[in-house]
Structure 1
């Protein structure tokens, strides 16, 4: 078997799909995307496919991964690792179909029968989160996540802290103690404000605090951890096991969040999960993305004993005009019952892509970029 062709489809709301075809008729799908950098990742995928993959046997996944990663003198980073990730997902999809088995069976078999999911509430500048929380809990979700703040100055006023407390307390009062509530700082907060915020939010028992500081400031995490008993999560902007190495050795992070479309795909995140297990750290793959990314996450969750919970993009505020089920021939594969998703049983990634819809929607103009925020003085704020 050899790879003979590939196609890329940029589709709403902000996703890039990859189709890899073989001479036997088997096809694999991947989702190589950096949100807001689809054209950059497209070029990287084309370079990797044209340089290394066309004409090769898709079953040699580890060798292909090593070639794509180590074959270039310059390596790592979001664009290259996302390109590798999408290709890797497609290769695993092909291999699973070749052996008529879900990918998780080829990774050693299932560690569980289903994986818990959480549901986003609110938007970039969250408001009315109490009502949204009630709706999602009534729909069966047992875990929620919300943004903690909008833009925050390096050292900001007590009102900013009070506002974050008010929103979390509103959600906690609405849903009670039996529902988990995660709070995402989105890397918007300096270490100075992070220390104040985590201490103020502690009485409301967040499930975890996500990305309290940017990954380039991870040396601040021990000081932040001293201010709270809430578990700390981070990792959506880390792209390989080497990026996670120092973080795990610090011993202060409780939950890591590698992204299956950014951190080298199934091959790499499976290894990252095993690394984390050795440090008694849980994993909750980052996935505010499309159906192929989510299907890939579930394959790794299935086989990882330390997988805690899974992000998914149903009704997320980024997905205006499209959702993760639109591109599936059988949307019921992503039905959430009692806050869980059952493991897929179909071969490969376990989903069937509606190629007709993909091709139709790829004709639309898709040019998503994240907003650029400014402070009142005109300087740039973290989004």
Structure 2
């Protein structure tokens, strides 16, 4: 099954649904047998997504076109070793590799009539536990920066009423004036600690005593501030403290993990097995959070999960993208032995996101049924695709 054409489809949705920065980059791979596959770069938010599309086409033209779509391992290794820049890594090159890899798995599943998790050797599991993510942006149809602790409580109540028994919230990200907090590095001030405590007490009150809370810090804090936050909130039953500090070196994170009174989760800005290994060896991550759209795709995410399994560490895929990103994560999580919990982001509730695909993937009662359609089981909505900007390379160019 020869790969004949690779498309990049980009959807600029920034500002819709209250989401400040939201730019999707999809890859669609075509074969000479008419079977196509979809993948997604995990860079929809933040800055840099626009760089990923050209990288998908560059990698695709040099290392993917003309090869057999079933040769995922050979293609992945070729992209890693022969692109030069993947040997050092980063989100653009690994995000592009991830999108291409996922698209190839989609093709394999469609060709064989099986969902990806079955191709990976797993039974279809019982519905997966998931959590309501990023409550500081509310849990509703529009993104709103929440300030008042009472609003945090309301968001937590809504999530609990929908059946979630776990939520995640960043109680420092939104400043008292409703803007994004400008300075969180260094030691937290008494005012910041008071705000942190009030918001998290409200969340605990909203979800009740029989549910979990993940403390999200987005790497905005320094080691000192993260440890202050953990100490301030340790009696509230925190399941994990996520991304206590930056990934520019393991030392700061490892120090935070050694001293933290609550378990630590991280991984959305780590790439490949080699990125995760130092943290696992140091024993400084209690749950890894690889983004399948950034770590190198389904092929590499599975290797990372099995690596973590040897260290007795669980996995929760980081998911902040389109419904396709959700589908990719679910297939991956269904196939690994150390799955813990699935992330359902508040952005996944927004109409601008849900309308991109015909399939609307939403959990029921805080649990996600893993799709069993062939491949990834996702279909771009025709109207949404018409609004996308499409570029491509094909065999013979």
Would the TM-score normalized by the shorter structure come out above 0.5? yes
Moved over 4 A (4+): none
1:360 and 2:386 equivalent?
A: yes
Shift of 1:257: 0.6
1:108 and 2:134 equivalent?
A: no
Q: 2:29 aligns with which of 4, 12, 20?
A: 20
Q: 1:343 aligns with which of 370, 378, 381?
A: 370
CA contact (8 A) 1:260 1:266 kept: yes
Shift of 1:47: 0.4
Paired residues, number: 358
Q: 1:265 aligns with which of 297, 301, 304?
A: 297
Q: 1:92 aligns with which of 76, 87, 105?
A: 105
Structure 2: stretches of 5+ with no match in the other structure? 14-21, 138-143, 174-180, 391-397
CA contact (8 A) 1:126 1:147 kept: no
Structure 2 counterpart SS, 1:165: helix
- Separation of aligned partners in 2, 1:361 and 1:231: 43
Shift of 1:216: 2.0
1:189-200 equivalence runs, <5 A: 189-200=221-232
- Separation of aligned partners in 1, 2:254 and 2:165: 30
- Separation of aligned partners in 2, 1:315 and 1:45: 25
In the other structure, the counterpart of 2:169 is 146
- Separation of aligned partners in 1, 2:171 and 2:343: 17
Shift of 1:39: 1.9
In the other structure, the counterpart of 1:137 is 160
Q: Deviations over 1:58-83 (max 9, x none)?
A: 11000000001111233211110000
1:82 and 2:95 equivalent?
A: yes
Q: Deviations over 1:85-138 (max 9, x none)?
A: 000000000001111111111111137322111112123954321111111111
Quickly say closer, same or farther: Cα 1:277–1:37, change in 2 above 3 A: same
1:327 and 2:356 equivalent?
A: yes
Structure 2 counterpart SS, 1:118: strand
Structure 1: stretches of 5+ with no match in the other structure? 365-383
CA contact (8 A) 1:126 1:146 kept: no
In the other structure, the counterpart of 2:61 is 50
In the other structure, the counterpart of 1:381 is none
Using structure 1 for the length normalisation, give the TM-score.
Answer: 0.89
1:122 and 2:154 equivalent?
A: no
Quickly say closer, same or farther: Cα 1:292–1:102, change in 2 above 3 A: same
- Separation of aligned partners in 2, 1:166 and 1:280: 34
In the other structure, the counterpart of 2:177 is none
1:3 and 2:3 equivalent?
A: yes
- Separation of aligned partners in 2, 1:108 and 1:72: 30
Deviates more, 1:247-256 or 1:69-78: 69-78
- Separation of aligned partners in 1, 2:227 and 2:249: 13
- Separation of aligned partners in 1, 2:304 and 2:369: 23
- Separation of aligned partners in 1, 2:346 and 2:278: 33
- Separation of aligned partners in 2, 1:93 and 1:352: 11
In the other structure, the counterpart of 1:169 is 201
CA contact (8 A) 2:85 2:93 kept: no
Structure 1 counterpart SS, 2:187: coil
- Separation of aligned partners in 1, 2:201 and 2:61: 53
1:37 and 2:48 equivalent?
A: yes
Using structure 2 for the length normalisation, give the TM-score.
Answer: 0.86
CA contact (8 A) 1:125 1:149 kept: no
Q: Deviations over 1:310-340 (max 9, x none)?
A: 1133446xx86612x3122232xx2312211
CA contact (8 A) 2:42 2:325 kept: no
Shift of 1:344: 1.1
